[in-house]
Structure 1
Amino acid sequence: MRRVRWSHRNHPKAIAERQAVLRQLPTWQLQDERILEWSLPPEHLERFMESLTGQMMLPVAVVGPLDVEFGRYGRDESFNLTEISRNREQLYVPIAHTEGGLSVSMQRGMNVLAASGGVKTYLLDDRMTRDSAFVFTKAGDAVTCSRWVQAHCDELRRWINDPEHPAKIKKPGQNIAEVSRYAILLTIETRVVGSVCHVLYQFDTSDACGPNMITRNAYALNREIVAKMESDLDVVPIHIFLEANLGGDKKPSHEYFNGGHGRTVLAEATISREVLQHQLNMTPDALRDLEWVGIHGSIASGMQSFGFTPASAIAAMFVVTGQDLGMVGTSSMAHGTVQVVPEGVSFSLQLGGLEVGTVGGGSQLPHAQSYLRLLGCLEPGGAQKLAQIIAGAALALEISASASMASRGSENFFRAHFERGGLRS
C-alpha cells in the first residue's frame, strides 16, 4: 500500500483525504459509506477531536421515571462540602448501549424504587486530583521538598486562586489562559517515595470534570514551587512529572476507592417485603445469601469493587451525556451493600470517584446537551446532580439484576440473557 501522510487536521480537504484512503481499502464495501455520512455538519464536531473522519450511531433507550431525592451542595469558607438543600424529582434517564436486557432491567429497578418511596442520593466528596512528582537524587531532598510544600500550602493556594492572577488573562493568540480561573485549589498533600516527592493537588472544578484545567494549574504550581524552593533552600529537582499515578486519573486504585478523586456519591433505598415479593418475586434472605456468596467470591478473586454490574449503567450514561469514556473504569469503583431490616431490605451503592462534568469536553456535543437538558443538568450544580442521577440509576440496575441472580438457580438471570441478550430472530 502506498504510504500516505496522515494529517490530524480537520479542515475539509484533510477530512476528504482521510475518507478517500478508507474507500481505497480492499475491505471497503459500498454499504460502509454510512460511516462517512454526517448527521451533523463536520464543522460542528471538529473541535472535539483530531483526525475527524466519520461518525458512529448508537441507539439510546430512555427509562423511568427515576424517583430520586438528591442534594445540592456548596462549600464553606474552609472549602468543606456542605449540603444546601434537598430536592425530589421524577426523571427520565437516557442510556446508550447495545446490551440486551439492560434497559428492561433498569426499568424494573426504577419501578421497584418508585413503589418504595424512591432513591435518596448524597454527595460525600467532590474534588479532582493531580499528582505531580518532583524527582531528586537523594531521599533527603524529597523530604525537604515535602516539608517545604506543606509549610507553604496556604501561600500557594492563595497564589493560584487569586482571581487577578496574571496567567488567568488570555494572551494574544491564545484560545485559553494558561491558568484556569474555574479550578479552585482546595489543598495540597505530599507523599515521599524514595527520592521522589509526590505533590497531590486537590481542586474543585465546579461543573467541569476538569482534567484539562487542573493540568494547567498544576503546571503553574510546579513552576512556582521550583522557583521558590530554589530561592529559599537551593534545592532543585532533576525531573518533574506532571502526573505520576498517585492522582487516580483514569486508573482504578485502592487509594480512591472510598473517595478523594472525582465525585463520591452514595445512593440508598429501602424495599419492603411486599414489593420484593410482588415485583421481584424475591425474599430478603435470598438476597442476603447472594451477597454472602458474592463477598467471598470477590475476596477470593482479589476484586477491588463489590457491586453487581454498576459499570453497565455508568458506561451507558457516560456515552449519552458526552463524558470521557476513559474514565468509566475509575468511575465504576463501587461498594454495594444489602441489609435485611424489619421493613424488608435496605440497599446502598457508593461510587467512590465519578468523573463527570456538564460543561466542557464531550458534554458540549449537541446530542449530549439535549440529554443533559432532559435531566435538568445544564444549570449551575448540574455536574453534582448528574453524578447523583447516575448513582440512582446504577442502584436501580443493581436491585433488579441482583434479584434476577438470587432467583432459584439464577433462572431469571439466565432467561433475561437467553431472551434479550443480543438479537433474537
Structure 2
Amino acid sequence: MTDNFSHFYHRTRSAHATQERRSPALPASGRLTPELVNKRWQHFALPEAQAALLDPITEETMHSYTKNIEHFIGTVKLPVGIAGPILVNGQHAQAEFCIPLATTEAALVSSYHRGCRLITAAGGASTLVLQEGVTRTPGFAFACLADAARFIGWVSEHVADLKSVAESTTQHGQLQDIEVEMEGNHVYLVFQFFTEDASGQNMVTIATQAAFDYVMQHSPVEPRQAFLDANLSGDKKANSHVMRHVRGKKVTAEVHIAESLIQRYLHTTSDAMIEFGLMANNGGQLNGTIGTNAHYANALAAFYIACGQDAACVAESAVGITRFERSIHGGLCASVTLPNIMVGTVGGGTQLPSQKACLELLGLNGSGHARALAEVLAAVCLAGELSIVGAFCAGHFTRAHHKLAR
C-alpha cells in the first residue's frame, strides 16, 4: 500500500511540474453544422462509433438539435416502450393515456403497464395540481447584520419594481412572489415564477438575472458578495423544503381499488399492501429518506427522457409521499403526492423529433397541456407504486426480474 501511494505521489508531482499539457484540439466552435460535426469525428477516427451515433436519420435531422446541445456528434438511441392505457380523472387530464417510457431497464415498462391497467380497471386515478412555481434564489453577503436588515427593508419597498424588471424579459413568465430568508448577515431572495406551459428554468434564470442586476445597481447597501443563485432553490437536488412548498408542479393522485381487483392484477391483498407501506415508511425514516416512496425515479427518468424534459430534475422530482390505507368503499385507497414535478409541453427538448412524437402519442404536445402532463405523470407514478408493492407482497419481484431481465 505504501509503495502504491509513493508511486502515485511521484507520478502526480512529475505531472504538475511539467508545462501545460496540450492535446489535439476539437473544433473551437460549439455551433452545429455538418462541417463541424465531420471535423469532430476526424479527431477520433472511429468509423464504427461514428456510424452508430451519426446514422443517416440523425444526419438528416441534426438541425433540430441546434438550440439543445453544443459540440454535437450524434444521437444515442434508447428503447421506448408503451404502458397503459391509464384512465386519468383529473382537473386538467381527463382521458385514457398511453404512456411512452424510454429505458434500458428490463421489467420496468411491464411493471408500469400492469399498474396502469389496474388503475383503469378500478375506474381511473383522480389527480389534482395543488401548486405551481419555479424558483431562483440569489444570495447576498453583507458586512454586518445592520446592513443586511437595511437591505431587506429596501427590497420589501421595491417588489413592484423587481417584478416589472423580471417580467420584461419574458412574454410568459410571471413573478408571483419574493420571499426573504436571512441567516446572519447573509440574505437569500426566493424569486418564485409562474411559467405557463414551459418547464421554465431558463426563463426563470434570465428573468432573475435582470432583477439581480437591478438590485446591484440600485440597492442603497452594497453587498460584499452576491451570487445569482445561492442553492436555496433546491434546483436538481433532493430537499425537504418542497414537501410543504413547490418547485415545478405539486400534484397529488389517488385511486380506490376493490379487493377483487387487487387479487386479480397483483395476486395479493390490500391488508398486505397496507402493512408493507407501514414498514417501508419506517424503513425510510430509519435511513433518512426525504418523503417515502418505492420508486418514483423509475417513472420520472423514463418519462422525462421520452418526452423531452430535463432528466437531471429527477433528483428533486423523486421526492414525495406514497400512502396506502383502507378505502371507505372497502379494498385499498392508494395515493401519491409529488411536490416537484418539473415538466413542460413547450420549449426545452419537447420539440425534438422523437420527444415531440412521444408527446403527440399522449395527445399533450404544445401549449395548454403542461398541467395535464403533470397530472398524467403523477398517475403513472401511482401505477408504479401499486405494481412494485404488489410484487413485493406477492413474492414476485425477483421472479419478474429473473424472467424479463436475463
TM-score (norm 2): 0.90
Where does residue 3 of structure 1 map in the other structure?
23
Equivalent residue letter for 1:13: E
Residue deviations 1:161-207 (CA, integer Å, cap 9, x gap) = 4xxxxxx4xxxxxxxxxx12211100100111122110010000111
Where does residue 341 of structure 2 map in the other structure?
354
Asked whether 1:413 is paired with 2:403, we answer: no
Alignment partner of 1:12 out of 2, 24, 34: 34
Distance 1:31 1:368, change over 3 A: closer
Task: Answer with 148-157 or 215-224: which moved more.
Answer: 148-157
How big is the shift at 1:374? 1.9
Structure 1: distance between partners of 2:237 and 2:160: 29
Alignment partner of 2:291 out of 302, 305, 311: 305
Asked whether 1:181 is paired with 2:175, we answer: no
Asked whether 1:141 is paired with 2:124, we answer: no
Where does residue 199 of structure 2 map in the other structure?
209
CA contact (8 A) 2:172 2:196 kept: yes
Residue deviations 1:389-425 (CA, integer Å, cap 9, x gap) = 1111111111011100112xxx20110111112xx3x
Structure 2: distance between partners of 1:91 and 1:190: 41
CA contact (8 A) 1:128 1:204 kept: yes
How big is the shift at 1:304? 1.1
How big is the shift at 1:219? 1.2
Equivalent residue letter for 1:124: L
CA contact (8 A) 1:146 1:191 kept: no
Where does residue 36 of structure 1 map in the other structure?
54
Structure 2: distance between partners of 1:258 and 1:49: 35
Residue deviations 1:27-80 (CA, integer Å, cap 9, x gap) = x573663123242322222321000012111111111111001213xxxxxxxx
Where does residue 243 of structure 1 map in the other structure?
229
Divergent runs of 4+, >6 A:
none
Structure 2: distance between partners of 1:379 and 1:9: 27
How big is the shift at 1:158? 4.3
How big is the shift at 1:156? 2.9
Asked whether 1:224 is paired with 2:210, we answer: no
Asked whether 1:46 is paired with 2:76, we answer: no
Equivalent residue runs for 1:7-406 within 5 Å: 7=28, 8-23=30-45, 28=46, 30=48, 33-40=51-58, 41=60, 42-72=62-92, 88-161=94-167, 168=168, 179-230=169-220, 235-342=221-328, 343-406=330-393
Q: Partner of 2:274: helix, strand, or coil?
A: helix
Structure 2: distance between partners of 1:338 and 1:143: 46
Residue deviations 1:90-132 (CA, integer Å, cap 9, x gap) = 1111110011111111111111111111011100111000000
How big is the shift at 1:380? 3.2
Structure 2: distance between partners of 1:338 and 1:272: 13
> Percent identity of the aligned residues?
30
Structure 2: distance between partners of 1:404 and 1:287: 10
Q: Partner of 1:4: helix, strand, or coil?
A: coil
Where does residue 10 of structure 2 map in the other structure?
none
Equivalent residue letter for 2:53: I
Tell me the C-alpha RMSD between the 2 structures.
1.8
Structure 2: distance between partners of 1:278 and 1:45: 46
CA contact (8 A) 1:264 1:351 kept: yes
Structure 2: distance between partners of 1:31 and 1:10: 19
How big is the shift at 1:135? 1.8
Return 5+ residue gaps in structure 2 as ranges. Answer: 1-20
CA contact (8 A) 1:271 1:344 kept: yes
Aligned residues: 381
Structure 2: distance between partners of 1:388 and 1:225: 37
TM-score (norm 1): 0.86
Distance 1:34 1:142, change over 3 A: same
Q: Partner of 2:137: helix, strand, or coil?
A: strand
